[in-house]
């Protein structure tokens, strides 16, 4: 008989733990996410979305990487590591969350195609209103060991759609409205809003870690390698697919960041709204949210020293 995976041995009780998170903290997390998305929208213009139609190939490759290749890769890792149900559902939720706004900064650091990065982040963020609940429903249904858990905690996609609509649509409309009607204010707010939102989010994550230190100390060592591998493969996939489809180097660097950085703040809100703070889901989303900042910054610094071989997209 084949020896079971170590992860299967050491994380069998992940499905039974729940992260401590009060309703007040959830409201605060909602506000933080809205503030972050408002900051992202300050940098958006209708012209940004026209790039999809003027140069669609790189965007299509990015969509393929994020919405098809990454979920399939996720299912493969779940099978390989025999991930317990709550952890498997968390991995699927990571895969279907939209790109994180910090990817634009990391793309700039990496000397990548910033316009492509902004376009991808914008489309996946707005598309999350529909795509995140629907794709989560689809891909999580393909995790056999999670069927019983899904039966007890799973919600209708329509409920998730309503929540994501409120979390994304309102701040994005306000941000783009500020950009259009008050351009000077948008320029003044842009940089401090981005910096402040990142600092607030990291501070919130640290506070949440402190409040759940016992669980994290017990399980972090066991999910650390999985997140390290998962995130690394996501970034490699974004770059490799871009080069496979003969996209320019600057586009490949942008798609590396877009595939590797996800808005796990949105994922955490969904976990606490719909899944009662389920341990495996919350832990992998929280750690991914920290680790993708570290990994993307390291990759960005490496590429910053190396000018792209091709300077045009």
Instruction: Determine, yes or no, domain membership for 161.
Output: yes
Instruction: Determine, yes or no, domain membership for 224.
Output: yes
Q: How many CA atoms lie within 13 A of 7 on its CB side?
A: 21
What's the rounded Cα separation, in Å, for the pair 283 and 281? 6
Instruction: Determine, yes or no, domain membership for 194.
Output: yes
Instruction: Determine, yes or no, domain membership for 10.
Output: no
Q: How many CA atoms lie within 13 A of 10 on its CB side?
A: 10
Q: What pLDDT was estimated at residue 29? A: 65
What's the rounded Cα separation, in Å, for the pair 272 and 90? 12
What's the rounded Cα separation, in Å, for the pair 105 and 272? 28
Instruction: Determine, yes or no, domain membership for 209.
Output: yes
State pLDDT tens for residues 111-121. 888 778 878 88
Residue 242, domain extent: 21-303
State pLDDT tens for residues 26-64. 567 667 767 777 777 776 666 656 665 666 888 999 999
Q: How many CB atoms lie within 10 A of CB 179?
A: 20
Q: What pLDDT was estimated at residue 2? A: 46
Residues 172, 126: contact at Cβ < 8 Å? yes
Domain count, the chain: 1
What percent helix, strand, coil does the chain show, rounded to 5?
80, 0, 20
The model's pTM = 0.76
Instruction: Determine, yes or no, domain membership for 163.
Output: yes
Can you give the CATH number for the domain in which 109 is found? 1.20.1530.20
Instruction: Determine, yes or no, domain membership for 16.
Output: no
């Amino acid at each position: 008989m084949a020896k079971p995976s170590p992860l299967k041995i050491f994380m069998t009780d992940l499905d039974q733990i729940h992260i401590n998170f009060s309703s007040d903290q959830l409201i605060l997390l909602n506000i933080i996410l809205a503030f972050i998305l408002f900051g992202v929208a300050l940098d958006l213009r209708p012209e940004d979305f026209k790039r999809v139609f003027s140069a669609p190939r790189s965007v299509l490759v990015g969509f393929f990487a994020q919405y098809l290749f990454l979920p399939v890769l996720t299912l493969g890792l779940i099978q390989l590591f025999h991930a317990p149900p709550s952890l498997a559902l968390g991995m699927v939720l990571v895969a279907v969350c939209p790109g994180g706004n910090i990817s634009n900064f990391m793309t700039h650091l990496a000397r990548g195609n910033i316009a492509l990065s902004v376009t991808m982040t914008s489309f996946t963020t707005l598309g999350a209103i529909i795509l995140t609940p629907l794709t989560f429903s689809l891909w999580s249904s393909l995790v056999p060991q999670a069927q019983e858990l899904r039966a007890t905690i799973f919600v209708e996609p329509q409920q998730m759609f309503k929540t994501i609509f409120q979390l994304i649509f309102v701040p994005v409309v306000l941000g783009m409205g500020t950009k259009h009607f008050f351009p000077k204010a948008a320029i003044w707010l842009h940089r401090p809003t981005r910096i402040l939102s990142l600092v607030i989010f990291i501070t919130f994550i640290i506070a949440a870690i402190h409040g759940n230190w016992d669980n994290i100390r017990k399980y972090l060592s066991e999910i650390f390698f999985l997140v390290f591998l998962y995130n690394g493969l996501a970034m490699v996939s974004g770059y490799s697919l871009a080069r496979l489809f003969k996209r320019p180097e600057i586009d490949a660097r942008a798609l590396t960041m877009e595939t590797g950085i996800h808005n796990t703040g949105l994922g955490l809100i969904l976990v606490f709204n719909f899944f009662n703070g389920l341990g495996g889901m919350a832990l992998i989303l929280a750690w991914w949210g920290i680790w993708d900042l570290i990994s993307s910054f390291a990759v960005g610094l490496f590429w910053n020293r190396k000018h792209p071989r091709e300077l045009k997209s």
